[in-house]
Amino acid sequence: MSENFFYHALKIDHKICYGCTLCMRNCPTEAIRVRNGKATIYGNKCVDCGECYKVCPCGAVYVAQDDFDNIYNFKYRVVLMPSVFLGQFPEDIRASQVYSVIKEIGFTHVIEVEASTMTHTKLTNQYIYEHQDKKPLISTFCPAVVRLIQVKFPSLVDNLIPIKAPVDFTSIYIRKKLIDEGIDPKDIGVFYITPCAAKIAATKSPVGEDKSTVDGVLNMDTMYNMVLKQIKQHKEYDKSVSANDASSDSILFALTNGEKRLTDCKKSFAIDEIHNVMDFLEKVENDEIDDLDFLELRACDESCAGGILTCGNRFLINDRMTQRARKLADRERNGETSRRKEIYSEEKFLIDNSSVAKIMPRSMMVLDEDISIAFEKLTKIKEIEAMLPQTDCNVCGAPSCHALAEDIACDEAKMSDCVFMQRNLEMRNSLNVEESVEIMKKIWGEEKIKDYVLKK
Amino acid sequence: MHNEFKVVEGDFANAGKASSDIKKTLKQLNIDNQKIKKIVVAVYEAEVNAIAHAYGGTIFVDLDQEKIAVVIKDVGPGIPDLDKAMTKGFSTASAKVREMGFGAGMGLPNIKNNVDVLEIKTEVGVGTEIKMVVNFLS
């Protein structure tokens, strides 16, 4: 198994996984293999996009989260709530009701993550304006996309906009606000409700940062269940709590087009879903698109509304968020609420704390740092590939014949792992049945082979 | 290491196959990103040129540890005035080709800017052979 470069929130429960290969076949970066009958993730290839989680038929892929009771390690417990969270609830549940219920279940403060997006947008536009030489500039909002670029499109790493995510800005802001009120920093715990695994990975081991801005991460589905249960059981809620952190523009930020529509660019694109993103980056890397200014790229279909930890249909979530933004925009126009929020008073402080350290390429494609060894391996891959059947049958435990050829050249698999090869070797008497059963056991696990034989 | 790709006349829809394959291979060899970009841009440009102007041809890719050499050999019609073709902004592309976003007259000059060696052999009525080399070490 390759060395782990990143923290990954996506894990596979080997007690549940039965090695069906569905995740392996759907992984966009070919980061999964079946070993001992179980799906196994290559840490340096995984970008935390969550495709495996979506396709797993038995719930073996899970997203590790912090224990909810960790919040009680702090006297002041802040929750950073993305607008997408509010989009989960049916229309008859008001945003202020959700805010209020979150306080009932244990938090002292609630703030919507998108509160800081106006500052984020301001900085993004400024960065684009000042870095025309690095065009096209690519948003770092989606952490799965940042990792995808690091491992698969390393030549585009310098095009990434090195600005913190809205969640970090909002976290820094609320912490400062509470400290300014005289609260001891040690007593403040900031928790983020995440719609996906990539955001967890990004907060646990932030790219270009050494320390996370939040103290813990809570999965959106878990929080949804807790909040909805409370709402169903107690219809009454504290009506004095208002949901007024973000403007109408801000609350759409995490949806597709959310960033693009706020940038001052002539030619920009908003692309969602990881395969679409990869196809487009391929073109960008080849310089096939002229005069490209800005790219908003999101790994999930319908962006964060399609995050793997969201509850419900992504189009309905999108619609509820859009309706909420429309109503809010009306109120802003009528002067019932201001677009300028309290957070603006700290804009300078946020801008001073906005940058991240250089984002480094971490190519997963390099066969070896030494070109002569890499060349040798590449030659070997081509030779092996030519011998393999090109059926991509997955019986070797790799997602494709090409991936098996790469694994063999890198000493992570054997030629005899291929069933076609096994038959050939058996025919030539250089492999006996016992030996091929042993090989199959290594890939598919002792139990599976035994069960299969017994069933027969 | 040797590899070949076919170029079909007028098939812009499939342009970029050779350059994408080359790109993947060079990434695996840990070649400097800027060098990869240069050869990819040059090959893509040459591929589009051949699709637009030639009656089809073949791309030959030869790779070793020091350099990549790409030869694009077509079967005609040949370039009548090579000096003119090397001028920035000069284009013989038809209106149809220009409509598709190609044919800005940047082809050959752009290739030249991106490679270490560019050799063009051309004969009207016979065909054109473009050889380009990018050295990894320099």
Q: Which pLDDT does position A81 carry in this prediction?
A: 95
Q: Cα(A26)–Cα(A133) distance, rounded to whole angstroms?
A: 36
- To test the contact with chain A by mutation, choose from B21, B28, B98, B135 the residue with the greatest count of A C-beta atoms within 10 A, namely B28
A285 touches chain B (CB under 8 A): yes
Give yes or no for residue A361 having a pLDDT over 80: yes
Whether the bond into B80 is cis, omega within 30 of 0: no
List the domains of chain B with CATH numbers.
Answer: 2-135 (3.30.565.10)
Average pLDDT over residues A444-455: 74
Taking CA–CA distances from A285, the nearest residue in chain B reads: B37
Q: What is the dihedral of CA A149, A155, A160, A162, to 10 degrees?
A: 110
Q: Cα(A389)–Cα(A383) distance, rounded to whole angstroms?
A: 13
Q: Residue A412 phi/psi, 5° resolution?
A: -105, 0
**Chain A residues touching B33 at Cβ < 8 A:** 154-155, 361
Pairwise CB contact (< 8 Å): B37 & A378? no
Pairwise CB contact (< 8 Å): A287 & B136? no
Q: What is the dihedral of CA B86, B88, B93, B96, to 10 degrees?
A: 160
- Closest partner CB to A367 (pick from B28, B36, B136): B28
Percentage of the residues of chain A whose pLDDT score is greater than 90: 66
Average pLDDT over residues A369-391: 92
Which residue ranges make up each domain of chain A? 1-64, 68-352, 366-456
Q: Contact, B42 vs B132, CB < 8 A?
A: yes
**Chain B residues touching A286 at Cβ < 8 A:** 16, 19-20, 23, 40-41, 44
Q: Cα(B13)–Cα(B6) distance, rounded to whole angstroms?
A: 14
The tens digit of pLDDT for each residue in B30-84 reads 898 888 988 998 998 888 888 888 888 999 999 998 999 999 998 878 888 777 7
Q: Tell me how far CA of residue B18 lies from CA of A26, B5, B9, B103, in angstroms.
A: 25, 6, 15, 20
Minimal CA separation from B79 to chain A, in Å: 25
**Chain B residues touching A405 at Cβ < 8 A:** none
Give yes or no for residue A456 having a pLDDT over 70: no
Range of A2-6, A303-307, A441-445 with top mean pLDDT: A303-307
Q: Quick count: other Cβ atoms within 10 Å of Cβ A448?
A: 17
Burial B16-46 (b: 16+ CB within 10 A, else e): bebbbebbebbbbbbbebebbbbbbbbbbbb
Pairwise CB contact (< 8 Å): B1 & A287? no
Q: Quick count: other Cβ atoms within 10 Å of Cβ A417?
A: 20
Pairwise CB contact (< 8 Å): B64 & A371? no
Could you identify the residue written with the tokens 């979530």? A317
Q: Cα(A195)–Cα(A404) distance, rounded to whole angstroms?
A: 34
Q: Cα(A151)–Cα(A363) distance, rounded to whole angstroms?
A: 4
- To test the contact with chain B by mutation, choose from A155, A367, A376 the residue with the greatest count of B C-beta atoms within 10 A, namely A155
**Chain A residues touching B2 at Cβ < 8 A:** none
Taking CA–CA distances from A282, the nearest residue in chain B reads: B20
Q: Which pLDDT does position A1 carry in this prediction?
A: 34
- One-letter identity of residue B7: V
Minimal CA separation from B121 to chain A, in Å: 26
Q: Residue A284: which region, alpha, beta or left (left: phi > 0; alpha: psi -120 to 50)?
A: alpha
Q: Residue A110 phi/psi, 5° resolution?
A: -125, 135
Q: Which of A49-53, A78-82, A112-116, B123-127 has the lowest mean pLDDT?
A: B123-127
- One-letter identity of residue A357: A
Q: Cα(A396)–Cα(A422) distance, rounded to whole angstroms?
A: 11
Minimal CA separation from B37 to chain A, in Å: 7
The tens digit of pLDDT for each residue in A305-335 reads 999 999 989 999 999 999 999 999 999 999 8
Give yes or no for residue A301 having a pLDDT over 50: yes
- One-letter identity of residue A60: A
Q: Which of A72-86, A126-140, A274-288, B2-16 has the lowest mean pLDDT?
A: B2-16
Name the CATH topology of A1-64. Answer: Alpha-Beta Plaits (3.30.70)
Q: Contact, A158 vs A272, CB < 8 A?
A: no
Q: Which pLDDT does position A4 carry in this prediction?
A: 46
Average pLDDT over residues B8-17: 86
Q: Contact, A156 vs A285, CB < 8 A?
A: yes
Kindly write down the DSSP assignment for every residue of A298-352, as one continuous string: ESSTTGGGG-TT--S-HHHHHHHHHHHHHHHHHHHHTTSS-SS-GGGGGHHHHHH
Pairwise CB contact (< 8 Å): B41 & A287? yes
| Best CA proximity match to A423, nearest among A385, A455, A389 | A389
Q: Cα(B39)–Cα(A246) distance, rounded to whole angstroms?
A: 47
Q: Which pLDDT does position A186 carry in this prediction?
A: 94
Minimal CA separation from A112 to chain B, in Å: 40
Q: Which of A64-73, A242-251, A289-298, B82-91 has the lowest mean pLDDT?
A: B82-91
Q: Write down the pTM of the prediction.
A: 0.89
**Chain A residues touching B27 at Cβ < 8 A:** 154, 363, 365-366
Give yes or no for residue A271 having a pLDDT over 70: yes
> Which of the two residues, A64 and A449, has the higher pLDDT score?
A64
Percentage of the residues of chain B whose pLDDT score is greater than 70: 86
The tens digit of pLDDT for each residue in A207-234 reads 666 678 899 999 999 999 999 999 988 7
**Chain A residues touching B42 at Cβ < 8 A:** none
> Which of the two residues, A286 and B31, has the higher pLDDT score?
B31
Q: Residue A272 phi/psi, 5° resolution?
A: -120, 165
Taking CA–CA distances from A367, the nearest residue in chain B reads: B28
Q: Quick count: other Cβ atoms within 10 Å of Cβ A95?
A: 24
- Closest partner CB to A375 (pick from B34, B44, B65): B65
- Closest partner CB to B27 (pick from A286, A365, A368): A365
Pairwise CB contact (< 8 Å): B1 & A282? no
Average pLDDT over residues A151-163: 92
Pairwise CB contact (< 8 Å): A366 & B27? yes
Residues 6+ apart with CB under 8 A from A15: none
> What is the complex's ipTM, to 2 decimals?
0.77
The tens digit of pLDDT for each residue in A417-432 reads 999 999 999 889 888 8
Whether the bond into A143 is cis, omega within 30 of 0: no
